[in-house]
Every structure is written in C-alpha cells, then in structure tokens.
Chains A and B, each alone.
Chain A
C-alpha cells in the first residue's frame, strides 16, 4: 500500500533540481491536534444542542469556519514556493555534506516552512513575498559515493498547527562522499621511508635549495621556522626536490586489502601529499590521473576515489539513500 502510494507520489513529483509547488504537488491533512480539534468541535456542537445555547453554536461555527480558512491559508503558505537546489556539497564519509537549497516565493509569503529528510533538520524557515532565502541542509554520510537527497519533505503547519500541508522535492543532483581517510598500516615502513626521504631531501637539500627572503604571497609552511627562531629572519626554502620525481599513489600498492580500505588509504595519501604540496598521481584500475598539484587536481583525485566502483555513468543519477552496498565497513 505504502509502495503504491510512494510510486504514485514519485510519478507526480519527478526528480528535478528546481521545483515550484502547486496544487498538483501539495498534500494537506489535519494533524493530530487538528483531529482533536475536530472532535472538540463536535463535542461543543452537542453541548450547544443539548443546552440549546445559541452562543455555543456561534462559537462552534466560528471555530469551524476558521478551521476551513486555516486549511486555505496553510495550503497557500506552500503554494507557489520555488525550490532550487543551488549546490550539492562534497565531503568525507562521516562528515556532514552541505546541500544549499534556495526557497523563493513569488506572490505570497511563506511562513514557518519545515524541511526534513535525511539530514539534520534546519529550523523553521520563512520567506517574504517576492523574497528568497538559502538554507543549508547538512546530510550525514555513512557510505562512500554519490549522496543523493532522495526526498526533501517541505511541510508547514502555519498558522494554527491544526493542519499540515506538505510536498516533496527530489533533487536530481547528488553530492559526493569521499572515502574516509585512513593511514595505511601495512605500508608504514615504505610510508615513513618516503617521509624520511622527503625529510632527508629537505635536510640534505639545504645546500642545493634556494634560500631566499620571505616575500608577500609565500605560504607560511614554506617558511623555515627553525631558522626564524634562531636568527629572526624569515626565509623560504625553494628546494629542488619539490619539482622532483612525482609520487604515484597506486591502487595496487596494498595487496590483500579490500576495496574500501584501499580507497581509504589512497584518500589519506592524497590528503597528505596535497598538504605537503607534492606532486602526485593516482592510479586506479582503469583510471589514471597524471601527476599534478593543486586544488583542482586534489578534488579530481578525491572524486575518482569516491566514485570508484560505482557505475561511473550513473554518478548524477538518483541513488536511493541509504545505498545498499557491500561497501560497509
């Protein structure tokens, strides 16, 4: 029954990054309080009949008519609301991924809008007539891969909380969850070796490093702080090792480790290299990212790691959340 209902609703509300609510897509029903209120009206009417009290009739009719008026008002509160998914965020598994939703209202103001779904609910939102506001929804992530906001429920109980009007939005664009970074355990040796090498490069490379005074624009971690502590002069080391041989981060470097853990190791290494401002490339089965450096490269690597294994062409599609996957750790 529920499945039939869901399918019907899904047909009515196709996935889209922009949706304007109208009477086709808004549903409205009395809340629990509304049902109790209806019961109260019946009791009041019976009291009025039995005690032949005109004023109780009057009060009952007034409240009943206001209930109907509230129905219209609650419906109108959502009607015409324009929802746009402005940005689908990215982040590591375990972090909250921000989705930015813009609520715009053309004619009527929309008061006390509640957004709910697979994210921590933001407070009640209000949009003035002709205004707009951005709401950041933080979706918790448990699995690597595309994070879809399967359904965002938009509801309101304004003005009296006796009725609830609601609708859904099914954003098409998905966010992305990178693997959780994990320091590789088995390769501690090689890794520390690598570090050691890097350090030795730094240590040994002082001779062939260009040491020049600090200029505006130099990153703070390139300053030789030890020297600063000793002499008080801020100098920068431009050592040759930086432009030296690139490091390949290879999927095949961790034999006997399962897929997700491998990806986590690689993710950790990517972050490490990026922070160390080293050149690095990524080798995944079927995907090779040439060594490079910088933010764009970093993102690209993380995205490939996040999407790895999932049907690559489906990345933008609607993936049900939570994703049934063997990727559980």
Chain B
C-alpha cells in the first residue's frame, strides 16, 4: 500500500492534471476492491467508480465508449440492487427487468433535461485534461528525420462545408508557420505568443452553413492551432485571428472543438507590405550551410531576375529532373538541402518544402514554411471531409511584392497525385501507404466492404460528436431559438425548472392515482367504505371479516333509533355482493341501485348523527 502510494507520488511529481487525478481514482478503486468487506465499502467503491465513469468521458467521447461506459454504470446499479436484496431468488432476471423498466421511465426526463438544461460557461478555469502530447503535427520540422505521421491514419479533423466540397487541390489547411532555419531544423522564431488560458466554447452553434462557410470538428491536439483555409474569416467566437492568416484558440484544445469559418478574403485597405524587420526575418539563413544550393540559387536568380520567374524555373527543374516523392527517403544528416537537390533526389513534402524555402531565401525572396494538412477524404455520400494525420503536409509561401504571400508547393510539381487525390495515390507504386499500420481500415480502402463499414461508423460518430457530444451552449441556444424565438440562458433555466417540476408532479400524481385506483374503480365499494367510515365514527367497532349484518346488528344495539337505516344499508350490501340477481342485472338497473345506495348512505349518516347528538344531550342514558 505504502509502496503504491509512494510510486504514485513519484510518478505524479507534484503536477496536477486530470490525468494524475484520475489515475489516483483508478489506484483507489484497485485498492478499495481488495478490502470490500461491509456494504459501506461497496458504496465507497460504487461512488468512486461512478465518478471514474464521468472522468472517462473527459478522455473518450466516441459513441462506442459511451455505450460501454453507460453499460458499466448500469451494471454498478444492478450490483447495488443485488446488494440490497441478497435473499431474492431469481434476482438476475427480475432485477434486470426492474432496472430496465426504471430506466425506460426516466428516459424522457433525461432527454428533456439534456436538451433544456442551460449550458453555462465554465465556472472557473480548469486544468488541462492531459499534459501528454498527442499524435499530430509538431511545431518544428527537421527534413533529415523521417516523419512517422504519414503512417498514422488517426483522424485530425472533419469538415462540413456549406455547399459542395472544394476540389482536393485547393484544400490547404494552414496550421502554423515556420520561419527560422538553423541548417537542419525549421522552427518558429517567436514561440507561440503567451496568452492567459481562457475557457473556450467547444461548439460553433447549430445554424445552417451558408455557401462558403465551413465548420471544422477538431480532434484534441493539446495545441492552440485552429486549421483553416486561406483566405478565411472567423465566424465562431472560439477562435481568433493570430496574424499570418492563422487562427488560434484561447486555450489548448484538450477535447474535441468545433469552430466555424467562412472563405472570404478580408478587405485590405492598401496593398500588402513587408516591414524591414519582417523582411530580414523571412530572409534569415544560417551562414555557410548548404553551399551548393546557395550558389545554385544565386546563379539562377541572376538568370531569371523576377521572383515569379525564379519560382517557375525552380518548379520546372523539380518537374523535369527525376525527383521522386517517396515515404522512404534515405537519411540526409548534413546539408540536407544540397543532398536532396543534387545527390539523392528522393524525399517527401518536408524535404522539398525545406529545399524550396532555402532556395527562395538564398535568392533574396522572402519565404516561409507552412505546416498543416492537405486534402482529406470524403465521408459517406460526400457530405463532409475527413482529414487524417497522413494528410499532414508542408509547403512554402513566398513574398511577391504587390501581391503579398503566394503559395508555392514543390510537392505539386514532383507528385501531382499527392495534391490532386492524396497520399495513397501518390505512393501507390511504392506500396508504403500505412505500411506499418496493419490495423487501420484506411489501409484496406480498396476493399469496398471495409471501406463502407468504416465510413458508416465514421458518419455515426461524426453525428454523435456534432449533436450529442457537441451539444453545447451555442448549439442549444441556436436550436431552441429556432423553436421559440430568442431565448436567453436565464429563460432556459426557468424552462428547465418548470419542466422538471411538471415531471415530478406528474410522477407524484400518477402514483397517488395508482394508490387510490383500486377502490375508485368500484363505486359500490367506495360507497360501502364511506358507510363503514360513518359507522366507525359513531363509535362502533368494525372488525375485518365482519359481515354487513353483523356490523348493522352491533351498531343497532348501540343506536336502536337507527336500526332501520342500518338494516337497510346492510341489506343492499348483501344483495350486491351475495345476491343471485346482481350479476345479470342490466346497467340501467345497476345505476338505479347505486343511486338508492347513495340515498341510503345519506339517510344513514343523518340517522346516526341524530342518534349521536341525542346521546350527548342525555349522557345518563
């Protein structure tokens, strides 16, 4: 126990994240499990496990996980039921049925609550769900090293478009910009500007997408990058422009986030310009690295002159000379640009983007590397686009005076298939597509059944993410406003409270009605009960099992004045319950009898009251 606690403390190292907290819970469950003796221990275990199920939703929100998680919670409840009814035979079936019935009854209320409960903004800033890095692009690029991102078919994000999905070659999803080269690695000159973490709305509303709009559902990256097409403007409030035509979240995306943009160029008042310091920044090169490439670029620049001519000349060289796009390039440890351009001539996007940017800068043209994703595969029925990790891409932007930043993608010159239809086509001859990833369904994309099943599953999960997991404040307000005009959070609170009160009231009324049901159904029984009540109130004992005659006789002994009424009442009761005719008499006759019984009851009550009061007036009797 102590060893475990020590191990836990050592592994946490004083950092608090949800990760460490939930691992504490897991540890607690493991230990508690070992010492469940009394029922109290089981309750402690139950509470920890239920909370753990809730915490699990912070990490996993896919529909399959949700189903498993809920099934686990129901099993826990079933366990509690068994704990509380240990002597019940056939408890398995009956208990399950009882629990299922209960669940069925509560389901409408749960759905109502889920739809109407106001989604407040976070009450305070909470720690990250997880401090661990996730699969995804990184903020540095070292062309000499092999990137294993191309071997991952994990989803990066999914996009819904207002209107048709743009052609594959236009889908350059920009994430971040690398502008500093040290001879081996490209990185950001300024690290991401610090920003006070603020809550980020996780959804972008439920309004219908207009043509040109697009909505991105980003998987958690633990980064602040919001991938976007260029040019775009932000529509949802959870992303903000961050310069360089990029967008950023106010807080690393540690859960799935949905944001919305529109492909509209921001209106510029004047032609774009580059300041002197920016110019220096985008021309920076390490001294003395890659001498052959430097020389080549200077010579070519003298020949071509204009930046546009230079770019064309380089792309022509890439296209005409035997450069190969491959996922298995040989290692190029030193002077990687020289090696790529003149010796090896084999590489993937990072190599070519690095070489292109190097050549441009050597020729005096400001240039920068853009990291992001390119393309994406359509989901079922072409309704949305799935962008996966292997769609990660790097390309170059060059500054052309008067025009601004222009995209230059050397990969498009070397391997047009990569840009036109994606990685799988580009490396089809090589057979290196997802070669280390046996379990990925995308690897077997040419088998129609697997492809169809994978797409179906993805669609279900996408809808789940959009409408259930992503049913947050903005979506709620949009949807409910669509139903009933404009709604504020406060009004929503009133609506929720009202609905719940109504549900509770209905349940209460139902059980009360059920309680009274068994005698209300029979008007005879009700009248007899009233009669017995009257007799009891007059002070006459009525025992269970007494026949009407016995009761009447006992009452008449005490109240001889009311004897006639009592006997009459008893006779009707006897006739109804024991008489031979009662079963076959017509409904009209029955109604008549009932009226007679009512009259009898009134007379009986009066007679007993009179008898009782005369008794009081003369107590000596």
* Chain B contacts for A54, CB-based, 8 A: 114, 468-472
Report which residue of A55, A57, A64, A65 has the largest number of chain B beta carbons within 10 angstroms of its beta carbon.
A55
Q: Is A25 an interface residue (CB 8 A)?
A: no
Known A55-B61, A161-B80: A49·B109 in contact at CB below 8 Å: no
Q: Is A63 an interface residue (CB 8 A)?
A: yes
Cα distance, A129 to B613, chains bound together (Å) = 45
**Closest partner residue, chain B, to A84 (CB atom):** B544
A248-282: which have CB < 8 Å to B? none
Cα distance, A2 to B258, chains bound together (Å) = 58
Cα distance, A159 to B80, chains bound together (Å) = 7
* Chain A contacts for B122, CB-based, 8 A: 49-52
Cα distance, A112 to B39, chains bound together (Å) = 15
Asked whether A59 lies within 8 Å of B84 as measured between CB atoms, the reply is: no
Known A18-B544, A57-B114, A66-B77: A52·B201 in contact at CB below 8 Å: yes
Q: Is A53 an interface residue (CB 8 A)?
A: yes
Give 19 CB contacts A-B under 8 Å: A22-B515, A23-B512, A47-B55, A50-B126, A52-B122, A54-B469, A55-B66, A55-B69, A56-B54, A58-B468, A59-B53, A59-B69, A64-B113, A65-B110, A66-B102, A76-B511, A112-B86, A160-B80, A161-B84
Q: Is the interface of A mostly helix, strand, loop or mixed?
A: helix
A-B contact count (CB 8 A): 146
Q: Is A70 an interface residue (CB 8 A)?
A: yes
Asked whether B88 lies within 8 Å of A111 as measured between CB atoms, the reply is: yes
Asked whether A44 lies within 8 Å of B54 as measured between CB atoms, the reply is: yes
Q: Is A157 an interface residue (CB 8 A)?
A: yes
A58-79: which have CB < 8 Å to B? 58-66, 68-70, 72-73, 75-76, 79
Shortest distance from the beta carbon of A75 to any chain B beta carbon, whole Å: 7
* Chain A contacts for B32, CB-based, 8 A: none
Q: Is the interface of B mostly helix, strand, loop or mixed?
A: helix
* Chain A contacts for B73, CB-based, 8 A: 59, 62-63
Residue of A53, A64, A126, A161 touching B255 (CB-CB under 8 A): A53
Cα distance, A126 to B85, chains bound together (Å) = 9
* Chain B contacts for A22, CB-based, 8 A: 515
Q: Is A48 an interface residue (CB 8 A)?
A: yes
* Chain A contacts for B113, CB-based, 8 A: 61, 64-65
Shortest distance from the beta carbon of A36 to any chain B beta carbon, whole Å: 6
Residue of B70, B95, B106 touching A68 (CB-CB under 8 A): B106
What is the interface of chain B, defined by CB distance below 8 A to chain A? 39, 43, 47, 50-51, 53-55, 57-58, 61, 66, 69-70, 73, 77, 80-81, 83-88, 95, 98-99, 102-103, 105-106, 109-110, 113-114, 117, 119-120, 122-124, 126, 129, 199, 201-202, 255, 468-473, 504, 507, 511-512, 515, 518, 544
Return the CB mask of A35-51 against B: 1 if under 8 Å, else 0: 01100100110111111
Asked whether A69 lies within 8 Å of B106 as measured between CB atoms, the reply is: yes
Asked whether B123 lies within 8 Å of A63 as measured between CB atoms, the reply is: no
**Closest partner residue, chain B, to A41 (CB atom):** B50
Shortest distance from the beta carbon of A164 to any chain B beta carbon, whole Å: 11
Asked whether A62 lies within 8 Å of B70 as measured between CB atoms, the reply is: yes
Q: Is A143 an interface residue (CB 8 A)?
A: no
Q: Is A308 an interface residue (CB 8 A)?
A: no
Known A23-B512, A52-B202, A66-B103: A40·B47 in contact at CB below 8 Å: yes
Cα distance, A305 to B245, chains bound together (Å) = 104
**Closest partner residue, chain A, to B504 (CB atom):** A68
Return the CB mask of A104-141 against B: 1 if under 8 Å, else 0: 00110001100000000001101000000000000000
Asked whether A66 lies within 8 Å of B106 as measured between CB atoms, the reply is: yes
With A66-B77, A111-B85 given, can you name 13 additional A-B contacts, CB distance below 8 Å?
A40-B51, A43-B51, A47-B54, A50-B124, A54-B469, A54-B471, A55-B57, A61-B113, A65-B110, A68-B507, A69-B102, A111-B88, A159-B99
Cα distance, A65 to B507, chains bound together (Å) = 12
* Chain A contacts for B53, CB-based, 8 A: 59
Q: Is A158 an interface residue (CB 8 A)?
A: yes
Asked whether A62 lies within 8 Å of B110 as measured between CB atoms, the reply is: yes
Cα distance, A174 to B45, chains bound together (Å) = 44
Shortest distance from the beta carbon of A328 to any chain B beta carbon, whole Å: 37
* Chain B contacts for A66, CB-based, 8 A: 77, 102-103, 106
* Chain B contacts for A57, CB-based, 8 A: 114, 117, 119
* Chain A contacts for B117, CB-based, 8 A: 57, 61
Residue of B51, B106, B472 touching A65 (CB-CB under 8 A): B106
Asked whether A61 lies within 8 Å of B114 as measured between CB atoms, the reply is: yes
A181-221: which have CB < 8 Å to B? none
Known A33-B43, A69-B106, A161-B39: A52·B119 in contact at CB below 8 Å: yes
Cα distance, A161 to B85, chains bound together (Å) = 10
Residue of A44, A51, A73 touching B102 (CB-CB under 8 A): A73
Asked whether B103 lies within 8 Å of A112 as measured between CB atoms, the reply is: no
Cα distance, A48 to B202, chains bound together (Å) = 13
Shortest distance from the beta carbon of A279 to any chain B beta carbon, whole Å: 39
Cα distance, A252 to B470, chains bound together (Å) = 93
Cα distance, A250 to B273, chains bound together (Å) = 128
* Chain B contacts for A64, CB-based, 8 A: 113
**Closest partner residue, chain B, to A33 (CB atom):** B43
Cα distance, A131 to B201, chains bound together (Å) = 57
Cα distance, A72 to B119, chains bound together (Å) = 29
Asked whether B515 lies within 8 Å of A159 as measured between CB atoms, the reply is: no
Asked whether B84 lies within 8 Å of A160 as measured between CB atoms, the reply is: yes
Shortest distance from the beta carbon of B492 to any chain A beta carbon, whole Å: 14
Asked whether A60 lies within 8 Å of B54 as measured between CB atoms, the reply is: yes
Known A65-B113, A124-B87: A37·B81 in contact at CB below 8 Å: no
Cα distance, A198 to B194, chains bound together (Å) = 111
**Closest partner residue, chain A, to B119 (CB atom):** A52
**Closest partner residue, chain B, to A46 (CB atom):** B123
* Chain B contacts for A63, CB-based, 8 A: 50, 73
The 4 nearest A-B residue pairs measured at CB: A65-B106, A55-B57, A61-B113, A112-B85
**Closest partner residue, chain B, to A65 (CB atom):** B106
Cα distance, A22 to B255, chains bound together (Å) = 51
* Chain A contacts for B103, CB-based, 8 A: 66
**Closest partner residue, chain A, to B125 (CB atom):** A50
Cα distance, A66 to B129, chains bound together (Å) = 28
**Closest partner residue, chain B, to A160 (CB atom):** B80
Shortest distance from the beta carbon of A159 to any chain B beta carbon, whole Å: 5
**Closest partner residue, chain A, to B203 (CB atom):** A52
Shortest distance from the beta carbon of B426 to any chain A beta carbon, whole Å: 38
Cα distance, A66 to B504, chains bound together (Å) = 12
Asked whether B47 lies within 8 Å of A56 as measured between CB atoms, the reply is: no
Asked whether A112 lies within 8 Å of B84 as measured between CB atoms, the reply is: yes
* Chain A contacts for B83, CB-based, 8 A: 161
Shortest distance from the beta carbon of B262 to any chain A beta carbon, whole Å: 24
Asked whether A55 lies within 8 Å of B515 as measured between CB atoms, the reply is: no
Shortest distance from the beta carbon of B571 to any chain A beta carbon, whole Å: 28
Residue of B88, B470, B518 touching A112 (CB-CB under 8 A): B88
